[in-house]
């Protein structure tokens, strides 16, 4: 598994992974597509960064993260998704490790992840928890009735006392 | 107090209110300026809506709200600010009432507000609580060390059982 900054050409493979994930839908994919385009057409705004995970010559996953505006060194993992065929092989962990590493290099203090309480996100929540993220907050019925917002957060190591 | 949709010409007065609020800073004002411009130059994206509160011929406050993407009928109050000279005269309450009314008209189910735990936001938190918003979640140290994220939420009346 090799995690590197995404290139513009990665866009189609990233959208394919999302649409075939069984987790995200077309609206999610459109949102990612917009963020991806913004990352490449407005780099001066420096809002979204994308990482691609490669297994040989196959793009098997991606992550999107960035600094949370109006905060002091808080970073947000906006998206992470791994292709169905590649799950349980460490791509998600490799992507999250690299996000933490890069955020810490830019003085990141805290990483937050917003996710859903529903069952299809159980593997993702397991990954976050196994990597030291703590569920710090819940907003009931945020995404829809019965679908709560879970907020995970983790202090980055270089600032840990 | 009269609350109506903002016009493009309101922009300068809105930024003046923010910069003289003693609460928000230049970075916040730049963020609002960007959202304001987006609301008027990209109305098709329908992300941000602005309301202005007038007392006679003076713009005394504003609110910015919108639908939270990727949620089912959850709306977000992004900003609300009232000029220092006008506080305690009901402008904040009038703005929030109108936001709730307009969100409910568009099938809004839930309104969320993200705010800070720090002392300068005490009057704002008091307003939210007096209007039936509940602090449903806290993310410690989100804005900065010692400056937590408080999330308030309220179900809109037309869906209350």
Residues of A in contact with B74 (CB under 8 A): 142-143
pLDDT the model gives residue B51:
98
C-alpha distances in Å from residue B79, one per residue of A127, A131, B28, B61, B129: 34, 34, 10, 10, 16
How far off is chain A from B143, nearest CA to CA, in Å?
Answer: 4
Query: Per the CB < 8 Å rule, is B153 touching A136?
Result: no
Going from the C-alpha of B105 to that of each of A76, A86, B41, B48, the distances in angstroms are: 32, 45, 24, 16
The strand pair at A58-67 and A74-82 is best described as: antiparallel
B161 pLDDT band (50/70/90 cuts)? very low
Residue A82: alpha-carbon gap to chain centroid: 10
* Residue A57 touches chain B, beta carbons under 8 Å: no
Does the CB of A74 have a partner CB in chain B at under 8 Å?
yes
Distance from CA of A135 to the nearest CA of B (A): 9
- What pLDDT does B84 receive? 84
Residue A157, burial from CB neighbour count under 10 angstroms (0-12, 13-18, 19+): exposed
* B141 contact A CB<8A: yes
Torsion on CA atoms B89, B95, B101, B102, rounded to nearest 10: 160
Q: What's the mean per-residue pLDDT of chain B?
A: 93
Residues of chain B with pLDDT > 90, as a percent, come to 87
The CA angle A48-A112-A28, to the nearest 5 degrees, is 55
Interface contact B137-A141, CB threshold 8 A: no
Q: Nearest by CB to A140, which of B136, B138, B144? A: B136
* ipTM surpasses cut 0.95: no
Closest partner residue to B71 (CB to CB) among A73, A142, A155 is: A142
The pLDDT of residue A3? 98
Q: Which residue has the higher pLDDT, B69 or A77?
A: A77
Quick check: helix, strand or coil at residue A140? Answer: strand
Which residue does chain B place closest to A71, by CA atoms? B143
Letter string b/e over residues B25-57, b meaning 16 or more CB atoms within 10 A of that residue's CB: eeebbebbeebbeebeeeeeeebbbbbbbbbee
Q: B94 lies in which domain range?
A: 2-159
DSSP class of A88: T
What pLDDT was estimated at residue A111?
Answer: 98
* Residue B149 in this model has a pLDDT that exceeds 80: yes
Q: Cβ of B35 under 8 Å from any chain A Cβ?
A: no
- Determine the average pLDDT of the residues in B152-156: 96
- pLDDT, mean of residues B136-156: 97
pLDDT tens for chain A, residues 1 to 161:
999 999 999 999 999 999 999 899 999 999 999 999 999 998 887 889 999 999 999 999 999 999 998 899 999 999 999 998 887 889 999 999 999 999 999 999 999 999 999 999 999 999 999 999 999 999 999 999 999 999 999 999 764 44
Contacts of A156 in chain B (CB under 8 A): none
| Cα end-to-end distance, chain B, whole Å | 31
Which candidate in B78, B107, B145 is best for mutational testing of the A interface (most A CBs within 10 A)?
A: B145
pTM of the model: 0.90
Q: With contacts defined as CB-CB under 8 Å, which chain B residues touch A71? A: 142-144
Alpha-carbon gap: A42 to the closest alpha carbon of chain B (Å): 14
Give how many domains chain B has, as a whole number.
Answer: 1
At A160 the pLDDT is 46
H-helix or E-strand spanning residue B97: helix B91-105
**How far B94 CA lies from chain A's nearest CA (Å)?**
25
Beta strand pairing status for A110-116 and A74-82? parallel
Torsion of CA A51, A57, A58, A61, to 10 degrees: -20
| Closest to B136 (Cα-Cα) out of A69, A144, A152, A149 | A149
pLDDT digits (tens, 9 = 90+) for B33-50: 999 999 999 888 788 999
What pLDDT is stored for residue A35 in this prediction? 94
């Amino acid at each position: 598994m090799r995690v590197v900054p995404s290139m513009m050409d990665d866009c189609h493979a990233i959208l394919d992974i999302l649409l075939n994930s069984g987790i995200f839908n077309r609206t999610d994919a459109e949102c990612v597509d917009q963020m991806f385009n913004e990352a490449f057409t407005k780099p001066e705004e420096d809002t979204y960064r994308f990482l691609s995970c490669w297994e040989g010559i196959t793009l098997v996953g991606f992550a999107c993260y960035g600094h949370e505006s109006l905060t002091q060194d808080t970073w947000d993992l906006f998206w992470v998704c791994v292709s169905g065929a590649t799950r349980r092989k460490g791509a998600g962990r490799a992507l999250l490790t690299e996000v933490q590493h890069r955020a810490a290099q830019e003085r990141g203090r805290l990483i937050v992840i917003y996710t859903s309480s529903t069952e299809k996100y159980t593997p993702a929540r397991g990954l976050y928890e196994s990597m030291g993220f703590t569920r710090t907050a819940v907003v009931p019925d945020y995404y829809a009735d019965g679908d709560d917002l879970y907020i995970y957060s983790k202090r980055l190591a270089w600032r840990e006392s």
